[in-house]
Chain A
Amino acid sequence: MQDLPTSLEIVGVVSDFLREQILPGLEGRTKFHALVAANALDIVRRELETAPVANNDEREHLMSLLKSEGSLDELNNRLCEQITNGDMTLDTPGLKEHLWTSTLTKLAIDQPKYSAFKKALQEGRS
């Protein structure tokens, strides 16, 4: 067990520090890269918040979809194979829902401002 602050708290405070203390004093390429850096920390923050539960759910969905066990990585590789060889198609019960759910989770962590993600939320696809 780790002591406090939590990793989530550390990443949050460093991101705030970059945005509030560092970015206003920068210009040009350096400012752009500092903004990319702050955004990258925000990805880590959202992943720390969301991924533990979401990845567990994804693994369970995959095990029931593929009727087999394994790590998240192994199961995803198996899913890729079955899609490629045609054993699983969009008509396979549960596949389409699984792909939407896992993709929306990625977007919620990686790029929550992306146009198609916002559209999907409006349409209630989550």
Chain B
Amino acid sequence: MTDSNDKFSKALSNIALAHLDAHNISDLKRLSGGASQETWSFKTHNEGHIEHLILRRAPGGEGRNSSGTAIGLDTEAKLIGLAANANVAVPNVRYVAKPADNIGSGFIMDYVSGEALGAKIVRSDVFDAVRPMLAKQCGQALAGIHGLPMSALPTIRYSPASQEIKHYHDIYKAHGHPHPVFDLAFKWLSDNTPADDRITLVHGDFRNGNIMFDPIVGVSAVLDWELAHIGDPMEDMGWICVNSWRFGATEKPVGGFGSREDMFAGYEAAGGPSVDPARVKFWEVLGTLKWGVMCTTMYEAFRSGIDRSVERAAIGRRSSETEIDLLYLLAAD
């Protein structure tokens, strides 16, 4: 272990001793996934009692995430706590790091078993039995998230439809390469922007890949809250339908595992207002376009020299995937 890893491990042991009712920690390892945040797995020991925990922290233990749209980890922990109180399936937050802890900004939560790899949820026969229930459960989870009282929320970014469109249009224009299909989609979106008549907490990255699924119970934890904001709740419903997150199962619009009707039914059964499919389509178009623009953004990180990896370069050639998806959404007949 390097010195910095040693220091990190020692700091985490101190937290375990002071706040997690444990004598020492073991099995500390970095998990893959999560490019913008670090995720670590470790175990705590108290006599024979062992607990499996997860630490989510800023890259390299810094104070803040660099992304402009991401909320801080302490805010993320607060939102997860609020969601837990409303019976949304989320990991149980055990401790939020303080500056004196010397691990940077982050929080510790209980390990949740299950699978978050989208392709496995879509294809693995382990999920055959539970798969038909998942879209409905996703709708239920969203009803809980969108039903959180606004007065209880920490201060986070307000981004209604018009603002989201402008944000991604600015990024596209700065990229400076013509994508006629993107312009077609931006034009359609600005001609079809819904009124801001229902404003709630929006998870912001609710898709297959950010939800932990258990083969028996289904949705076991909604993860990755860093893009949470205030806006149109239908944004979350549209985002999970974007074809990029269907992992090849295009005929099942919700995450490649279920139908829109089932998701809407779950939402309404859990107390959400009745869903307007046209509005969900608006957000699916915007979500698809957003992912296309994000692919060009990642290429920009390559072009500017920030990240010279082959992966960053190659992802620019994935924006065409969203262009064909947009044509299917807007120009199929």
Contact = CB atoms under 8 A, between A and B. Distances in A.
Decide if A and B are genuine partners. yes
Interface of B: 178-184, 186-187, 243, 246, 248-250, 309-311, 313-314, 317-318, 320-321, 323-325, 327-328, 330-331
A40 B325 CA distance: 22
A104 B186 CA distance: 20
B310 A115 contact: no
A43 interface: yes
Interface of A: 33, 36-37, 39-40, 43, 73, 76-77, 79-80, 83-84, 86, 90, 96, 99-100, 102-104, 106-107, 109-111, 114-117, 119-120
In this complex, the member of B246, B248, B250, B317 whose beta carbon has the largest number of chain A beta carbons within 10 angstroms is B317
List 5 A-B pairs, minimum CB-CB distance, nearest first. A106-B320, A76-B178, A110-B317, A80-B183, A83-B183
Consensus secondary structure, chain B interface: helix
Contacts of A86: 187
B185 to A, nearest CB: 10
B317 A79 contact: no
In this complex, the member of A76, A79, A114 whose beta carbon has the largest number of chain B beta carbons within 10 angstroms is A114
B319 to A, nearest CB: 8
A106 B323 contact: yes
Nearest to A116: B324
A96 B324 contact: no
Given A33-B309, A40-B313, A99-B184, A80 B179 contact: yes
Contacts of A37: 310
Nearest to A73: B178
Contacts of B243: 115-116
B320 A115 contact: no
B180 A99 contact: yes
Nearest to A83: B183
B314 A103 contact: no
A115 B178 contact: no
Contact of B320 (A73, A76, A77, A110): A110
Contacts of A119: 250
B311 A36 contact: yes
A34 to B, nearest CB: 9
Contacts of B317: 40, 43, 109-111
B324 A80 contact: no
A99 B309 contact: no
Contact of A120 (B314, B324, B330): B324
A84 B250 contact: no
B314 A39 contact: yes
